[in-house]
């Protein structure tokens, strides 16, 4: 069981997490008509009286965009104000994860997005490593990622996560740590809740936005950093056959950070991962606000 932060935001107010309850008839519970975000907060290693939020604006914008698919007008600025207030009210002194969520809160039945009540809540939980930082084994899932023509994959739509759940359970129950999903074209697109990168011949390669991926914020950050570090980078479709023989491969996500891939199916990858480690060191320094060149990616919330 997770350790939840004491205060949540729910139905336009801050209240104890335990008092934020919804009905079993809630529309979104039945139809997957929700959208969420996920961001980490960490105590500033240089000053424990402040919390650091990585790329807060970008997270708020993605959630505001996801809300548009649900026919809900929720400006990014409003999300930002509530998240900052949420962090101040909770006064956490450990690493945590913030889960903002938009959903159809109506108690009526029938799938739809028009003329239906919606709500926005935020809660948090303490979170250390989501996947082992030492690396993970991956199975290529028999479940394919949905296509953008049937679901708006640019948003973090809750209903979409049935596929991630099927894939993750299939992988874990067959002895792997994580699942890699292909898209309808049979190209590798991402993991159950992370984007994927591989390195071949010194080049960093990741599937592009046309490959049915989530527009991951860690992914976007890594691409920027790689360019700044002079690592040749390309966004293009990825075949499973090249992943099996990649020099390095890793997963990226807010929860997973940068997690190396040790093995894909029955193919072992090298334990020497210079580019993965270089990017991991860089992003860790940035999230901890130790890199003066990327301070605009870090939002500082004073707790006092
Ligand atoms: N893909 C999926 C399906 C995800 O759920 C996530 C986690 N949000 C990611 C990729 C990584 O995105 P981000 O780096 O923004 O956390």
CA distances to 180, 189, 242, 251 from 170, in Å: 11, 17, 23, 18
Whole-angstrom Cα distance, residue 164 to residue 134?
Answer: 22
What range does the domain containing 216 cover?
136-287
The neighbouring-strand residues paired with 101 are 36, 121
Contact (Cβ atoms closer than 8 angstroms) between residue 42 and residue 288: yes
Residues 262, 172 share a domain: yes
pTM of the full predicted structure?
Answer: 0.97
Supply the CATH number for residue 86's domain: 3.30.470.10
Q: 74, 94, 126 — which closes off a domain? A: 126
Positions of the chain with pLDDT under 70? none
Domain for residue 1, yes or no?
no
pLDDT recorded at residue 48: 87
Q: 126, 145, 162 — which closes off a domain? A: 126
Render pLDDT for 203-232 as a digit per residue (tens, 0 to 9). Answer: 999 999 999 999 999 999 999 999 999 999
Domain for residue 18, yes or no?
yes
For residue 304, the CA-to-ligand 1 centroid distance in Å is 32
For the chain, the domain total comes to 2
Residues 152, 37 share a domain: no
Supply the CATH number for residue 176's domain: 3.20.10.10
Ligand 1 surroundings by CB, under 6 angstroms: 38, 156, 164, 190, 193-195, 214, 216-219, 252-254
Q: 87, 106, 126 — which closes off a domain? A: 126
For residue 30, the CA-to-ligand 1 centroid distance in Å is 23
Domain for residue 48, yes or no?
yes
**Nearest atom in ligand 1 to 220's CA:** 14
The CB density around residue 25, as the number of other CB atoms within 10 Å, is 11
Residues 146, 28 share a domain: no
For residue 124, the CA-to-ligand 1 centroid distance in Å is 17
pLDDT recorded at residue 304: 81
Render pLDDT for 106-151 as a digit per residue (tens, 0 to 9). Answer: 999 999 999 999 999 999 999 989 999 999 999 999 999 999 999 9
Q: In the structure encoding, which two tokens stand for residue 116, read together?
A: 């239906």
The neighbouring-strand residues paired with 52 are 42, 300
Indicate the DSSP class of residue 208: -
Residues 161, 117 share a domain: no
Residues 148, 82 share a domain: no
Domain for residue 2, yes or no?
no
Question: Look-up: residue for tokens 């090249």?
Answer: 242
For residue 232, the CA-to-ligand 1 centroid distance in Å is 23
Whole-angstrom Cα distance, residue 56 to residue 35?
Answer: 17
């Amino acid at each position: 069981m997770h350790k939840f932060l004491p205060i949540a935001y729910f139905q336009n107010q801050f209240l104890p997490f335990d008092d934020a309850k919804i009905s079993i008839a809630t529309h979104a519970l039945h139809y997957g008509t929700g959208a969420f975000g996920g961001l980490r907060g960490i105590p500033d290693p240089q000053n424990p009286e402040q919390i650091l939020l990585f790329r807060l604006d970008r997270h708020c914008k993605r959630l505001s965009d996801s809300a548009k698919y649900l026919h809900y007008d929720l400006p990014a600025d409003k999300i930002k104000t509530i998240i900052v207030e949420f962090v101040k009210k909770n006064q956490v002194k450990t690493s945590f994860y913030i889960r903002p969520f938009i959903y159809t809160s109506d108690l009526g039945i029938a799938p739809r997005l028009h003329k239906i009540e919606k709500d926005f809540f935020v809660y948090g939980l303490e979170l250390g490593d989501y996947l082992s930082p030492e690396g993970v084994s991956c199975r290529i899932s028999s479940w394919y990622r949905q296509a953008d023509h049937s679901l708006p994959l640019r948003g973090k739509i809750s209903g979409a996560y049935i596929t991630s759940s099927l894939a993750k359970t299939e992988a874990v129950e067959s002895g792997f740590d994580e699942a890699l999903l292909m898209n309808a074209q049979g190209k590798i697109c991402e993991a159950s809740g992370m984007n994927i990168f591989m390195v071949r011949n010194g080049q960093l390669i990741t599937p592009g936005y046309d490959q049915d991926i989530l527009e991951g914020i860690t992914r976007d950050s890594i691409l920027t950093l790689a360019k700044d570090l002079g690592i040749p980078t390309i966004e293009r479709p990825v075949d499973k056959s090249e992943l099996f023989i990649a020099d390095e491969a890793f997963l990226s996500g807010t929860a997973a950070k940068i997690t190396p891939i040790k093995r894909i199916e029955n193919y072992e990858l090298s334990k020497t991962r210079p580019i993965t480690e270089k990017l991991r060191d860089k992003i860790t320094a940035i999230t901890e606000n130790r890199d003066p060149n990327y301070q605009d990616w870090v939002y500082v919330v004073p707790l006092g």
